[in-house]
Amino acid sequence: MLPHAIPIKRYPELRLAARHLPDNATVTPAEALALYEREARSLDLQRMAPDEQALLNDLIRDVGHGVFNG
């Protein structure tokens, strides 16, 4: 189950995608998926930690209905 507020500082790739936000910011699941999609070319999936990969997979499944537009 996805949290209602995702702390960007917990997920390094999300933090990079949300570099315009303060370090202590949180985003909704829809906002997080939009950030990942917008910055898809910059994502380093090889470097992404398992917990962040799980978050992204959950976002794609639950918010994107199985589709990643990145």
Residue pLDDT, tens place only, 13-44: 999 999 999 999 999 999 999 999 999 999 88
Q: What is the mean pLDDT of the chain?
A: 96
Determine the pLDDT at residue 28: 98
Q: Is 27 helix (H, G, I), strand (E, B) or coil?
A: strand
Please report how the helices 29-38 and 50-62 are oriented relative to each other, as an axis angle in degrees rounded to 10.
110
Determine the pLDDT at residue 7: 98
State the distance between the two ends of the chain, measured CA to CA, in whole angstroms: 22
